[in-house]
Amino acid sequence: MYGLKLCTVFTLAGLLLIALPALSESTPLRAGDAFPTLEAQTLARKRVVVPDDLRGKPAFLVMGFNRGAADNVKKWSVALQGSRHAPTVYSIAVLDNVPAFFRGFVLGGIRKSAGKNMLVTFSGTPFEQRFPPGGADDPGVAFIDAKGVVVRTTRTPFSDEAAAEFAKGTALTGLWGTG
């Protein structure tokens, strides 16, 4: 009898250990959470690890999870760069679903049209679940502080109203007439 209870306890503990990592990968990010590690590269193929390589500087991260999000990613990025005192804005293209054969072509197209703070990742699909629910073409937007801690997240198409709402509680409060 005692052995059966002990076996049950160990089985449940094992199942918990298996389930917890899966739960943490799909749980939306909240204020106060550490931003999870994301390996990416610049368009010049320099390796970047977010948020580790950004430590010491607050940043906005605008992640597009498919081609349809490109326009909204650009609009969010431009709006968030609205002040010379604003934190750096990084646009991140998630290219996990692009077949390896086409990745060079896709990267070439992005290089021609993207800004200097464009990052590309081939391992970003799990991040789509880390942002609040949204449409398939809606980018995920996060503001992280200098320690890599999430201050705010959203997943919505760009609009002045959405930007003003997102700016509340960030370093950009006031840029869109909020305040």
Average pLDDT over residues 38-63: 91
Q: If you average pLDDT over every residue of the chain, what do you get?
A: 80
pLDDT at residue 132 in the model: 93
Q: Apex CA 77: angle with CA 177 and CA 113, to 5°?
A: 145
Domains defined for the chain, CATH in brackets: 28-167 (3.40.30.10)
- 108 vs 47, 98, 115, 123, 147, CA distance in Å? 17, 13, 13, 19, 33
On the CB side of 102, CA atoms within 13 Å amount to 8
pLDDT at residue 103 in the model: 83
pLDDT at residue 61 in the model: 95
Phi-psi domain of 100 (left: phi exceeds 0; alpha: psi -120 through 50; beta: other): alpha
Structure confidence by residue, pLDDT tens digits, 4-40 = 454 444 444 443 334 334 334 578 899 999 999 999 9
Predicted TM-score (pTM) above 0.85: no
